[in-house]
Structure formats: C-alpha cells, structure tokens
C-alpha cells in the first residue's frame, strides 16, 4: 500500500512537469519526505521507489526505476532523487 502511494505521488510530480510542456535543461532534484499519516512524524529507515514515465506520459517497456532509503539518524526522513534529462 505504501509503495503504491509513493509511486502515485512520484508520478503526479513528474506528470505535472511533463504537462507544463517544457523539459528542464538541468537535472531536477525531487525531494520525497515520508510521514506517518496518523501522527505526522517522519518515518525513518524506509525504502522509496520512484518510477518515471516517458515524455508522452506512457511507460516504456523498461521504465527507469529509482530506489533510495530514508536515513535512520536524520530528523527529516527525506530522500533526494536526482533526475537527469
């Protein structure tokens, strides 16, 4: 359930950038912060996966999959994805 929710949020962020009709010339940094939906506190030590669609909004046969883990010691529980053109 969490993976599906995180993937959906990531797709919305990337889809919004594609819908604007421009492609960024420099790499884009996407920050994802994981919070507990009941308490609002950061979730530490969790894995995050981000799947990117193509410029036409469709998924290629082998979509780019990015994985990261939130830091156990950090207070933020944030993951940074760097997306190149």
Which pLDDT value is given to residue 82? 84
19-69 pLDDT per residue, tens: 555 555 688 888 888 888 899 888 888 888 888 877 787 877 777 778 888
The Cα-based distances of 18 to 9, 15, 56, 85 in angstroms read: 14, 5, 8, 12
Q: Domain spans of the chain? A: 2-83
* pLDDT for residue 10: 62
By CB atoms closer than 10 A (0-12, 13-18, 19+), residue 77 is buried
Higher model confidence: residue 4 or residue 79?
A: 79
pTM of the complete model beyond 0.85: no
């Amino acid at each position: 359930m969490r993976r599906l929710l995180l993937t959906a949020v990531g797709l919305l962020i990337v889809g919004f950038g594609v819908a604007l009709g421009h492609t960024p010339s420099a790499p884009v940094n996407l920050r994802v912060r994981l919070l507990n939906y009941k308490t609002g506190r950061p979730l530490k030590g969790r894995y995050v996966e981000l799947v990117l669609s193509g410029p036409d909004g469709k998924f290629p046969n082998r979509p780019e999959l990015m994985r990261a883990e939130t830091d156990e010691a950090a207070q933020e529980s944030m993951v940074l994805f760097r997306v190149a053109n």
